[in-house]
Amino acid sequence: MRNGPFRRDGRFPLRDALQQSTPGETIPIGVLYTAPFDPGFDVHKLIYFGASVFWRSSVHHWNDSKKLMTPAKLADDLEEDLRLYLLDKAAFPSSVLFLLSITASKPLQHFNHPGPMTPNTPAKTDITGVAFNIPGIQFRMFTGGFPSHMRANSAAVPPHKVLLTDRVEQEIHSRAAEMSTDSKVVGTLASKKF
């Protein structure tokens, strides 16, 4: 992909390439862009990358994951479906919903390990899935309980919709606030001022 992720100098070529594409529907939280995309925005590479991270986080026991990370274990049959997709032996699993969001604002310099999705509202939900963020990009994979109308916004199936939104940064702030309530600064960070 000639246009990569967020750069330290403030440029975000991937977002610029998305914005060169034809915008589709405007929804309350942003704008949905739909294929065909600008040549600099390769949605298939982003889907592959996200799927590979979700698969690896499920099949491997990462060091200290019991202490530092909530495991993102997927069902065995979904692990196998993703493995076959990653080996180019099958299509992306039709049983899941893959949402891809690109930040409309300046990306935060944060990422998080894939983990179970938690509702960002007090309302109860039956939606299950996993999510992770890298600077400027949010990957979400719903594995059950999602309303059928949400499937129309999937990045993994035609017409490959991608959301341009400020919600990515809002959710990172929200998740950091949740984690900070029971976190403590240790080691060399204890002497630093934040």
pLDDT of residue 124 exceeding 90: no
Letter string b/e over residues 6-29, b meaning 16 or more CB atoms within 10 A of that residue's CB: beeeeebbbbebbbebeeeeeeee
3-state secondary structure of 187: helix
Which carries the bigger pLDDT value, residue 188 or residue 90?
90
Check residue 121 and give its pLDDT: 43
pLDDT in tens, 19-62: 999 888 999 889 999 999 999 999 999 999 999 999 998 887 66
Tell me the mean pLDDT in the region 135-152. 86
Give dist(CA 187, CA 192) in Å, integer. Answer: 10
Q: Over the chain, what is the mean pLDDT?
A: 79
Tell me the mean pLDDT in the region 78-90. 96
Question: Whose CA is closest to 116, among 144, 87, 86, 82?
Answer: 144
Question: Whose CA is closest to 132, among 146, 145, 113?
Answer: 113
In DSSP notation, 65-95 reads HHHH----PPPHHHHHHHHHHHTTSSPPPTT
Hey, what are 3's tokens?
A: 């246009």
Q: What is the total residue count of the chain?
A: 194
